[in-house]
Amino acid sequence: MELNHTHDPRTRSWLASANEAGCDFPIQNLPFGGFRKAGSNEAFRGGVAIGDQIIDLAALSQTDALQGLPALALRTCAGSSLNDFMAMGPVAWRALRHALFDLLREDASGEAVQALRNSLVPQLEAEHTVPSRIGNYTDFYTSIHHARNVGRVIRPDDPLTPNFQWLPIAYHGRASSVVISGTPFHRPMGQAMLPGAAAPVYGPCARLDFELELGFYIGPGNAMGETVPLEQAEAHIFGICLLNDWSARDHQFWEMAPLGPFLGKNFCTSVSPWIVTLEALAPYRVPFAHPANEPQPLPYLDAPSNRAHGGVDIQLEVLLETAQHRAKGAAPDRLSATGFRHQYWTIGQMVTQHTVGGCNLQSGDLLGTGTISGPTPAEAGAIVELSLGGTRDIELPGTGERRRFLEDGDNVILRGWCEKPGAARIGFGQCSGEILPARQG
């Protein structure tokens, strides 16, 4: 987590758009993703965001711009997924990021800089893909505020399960239905049990929800039977994205006893195009500890590095754009704003917990943090919390509409960024998805 020259906020790029105030992708960020020209039949390949452009890593790998380890790392980014690059580990990730940084600096010049300049593709002309072949997707449940808020809806007397403060709770999600931001999906059909009913009904989800989450991708994996110690956990994390774990609450709450969510979650999960590396986030790492009067982690979930800087101070917001917003040309309304600093467990603890029994993580696996809700009602990361279980209207000032759950045509937009004095802004871009009407069978 030590800072180096790539974190100096004074460094500017020869690409003007990267230097603009509020830009998510300055030279200090350099997040990785997968892209191609929009609407084309081109193969997807790796890219790095800089300003309003993308460095086409397949094109750059055809040049002599890089040498040595950075060139080897670059070559693994030329294919349709970043799994091989993720498997290379932090030394290779850093080597490539630093090499690109050096070529993008305002004062850089020469043939390599020209080669990089020739490989730029405007972000506006690109379409994205899920950046890894996700072998397994796991979703955690690590916001104590979310757990209490949702727990109150299901178990008013006992909202927090007794294990919450002892381990990062998680369940396995569905990898096949993880889609890239901007992919619309159909409102799911399914079973729900209405209050007081004798039999369930089959129909379109009536309580469709979003979940504001961060996702993180696994770099090098671990062998089956081996545990990743907490001190080493972050060397297994490639980087972080935004994630929306769409949820059909009526289906979920009916199906989930005793084995947890299944159809209520597996119809769609959206991820943002860009993966921000842990190295880029180094200036925003924050100390992490549980309150002294609460349970302290067991030794395997405790480590000095985790206490010193296990947290990440990422700011987050949720915007809603309805069909009426689009018709009126109105800006989306903000539903919520919160931050990852409130989370009860760190991403390192999640990796260690996931592997403590010997489960093997693989390069490219996706782990979600679970819904991120802050301590106040306005910081809730799901509409079921904001509407108090669907009992309270949420006002949308932009159109005068109201919501208790999501409606067809609603487009939910997650945004995330890090910002503070003395450090460059590190943005995550956005993660969006629009709800199409149910396909009734």
User: What is the contact surface with a second copy in residues (CB under 8 A)?
Assistant: 135-136, 138, 141, 151, 154, 161-163, 166-167, 169-177, 179, 185-186, 188-191, 193, 199-200, 202, 205, 224-227, 229, 248, 251, 254-264, 266-268, 295, 298-300, 353-354, 356-362, 365, 439, 441
Bridge-based pairing of strands 185-186 and 247-248 is unpaired
Q: Which is nearer to a second copy, 32 or 246 (CB)?
A: 246
**Residue listed under structure tokens 């904001």:** 386
Q: Which is nearer to a second copy, 264 or 398 (CB)?
A: 264
Catalytic residue among 7, 146, 325, 354: 146
Q: Which is nearer to a second copy, 16 or 202 (CB)?
A: 202
Give 167's DSSP letter.
S
Which of 161, 261, 136, 166 is CA-nearest to residue 211? Answer: 261
Q: Which is nearer to a second copy, 9 or 229 (CB)?
A: 229
Q: Which is nearer to a second copy, 3 or 298 (CB)?
A: 298
Q: Is 287 helix (H, G, I), strand (E, B) or coil?
A: coil
In angstroms, give the least distance from the CB of 365 to a second copy. Answer: 8
Q: Which is nearer to a second copy, 95 or 228 (CB)?
A: 228
Q: In the annotation, is 146 catalytic? A: yes
Q: Contact at 8 Å (CB) between 241 and 217?
A: yes
Q: How far apart are CA 67 and CA 3, in angstroms?
A: 24
Q: Contact at 8 Å (CB) between 428 and 436?
A: no
In angstroms, give the least distance from the CB of 204 to a second copy. Answer: 10
Phi, psi of 424 (to 5 degrees): -70, 145
Longest CA span, the chain: 75
In angstroms, give the least distance from the CB of 412 to a second copy. Answer: 17
In angstroms, give the least distance from the CB of 291 to a second copy. Answer: 16
- DSSP code per residue over 94-124: HHHHHHHHHHHBTT--SHHHHHHHHTEEEGG
In angstroms, give the least distance from the CB of 176 to a second copy. Answer: 5
Q: Contact at 8 Å (CB) between 244 and 184?
A: no
Both tokens of 250, joined, read 């009526």
Please report how many Cα atoms fall inside a 13 Å half-sphere around the Cα of residue 351, on the Cβ side: 30
In angstroms, give the least distance from the CB of 420 to a second copy. Answer: 34
Q: Contact at 8 Å (CB) between 63 and 151?
A: no
Q: How far apart are CA 252 and CA 263, in angstroms?
A: 7
Catalytic residues, which ones?
Answer: 146
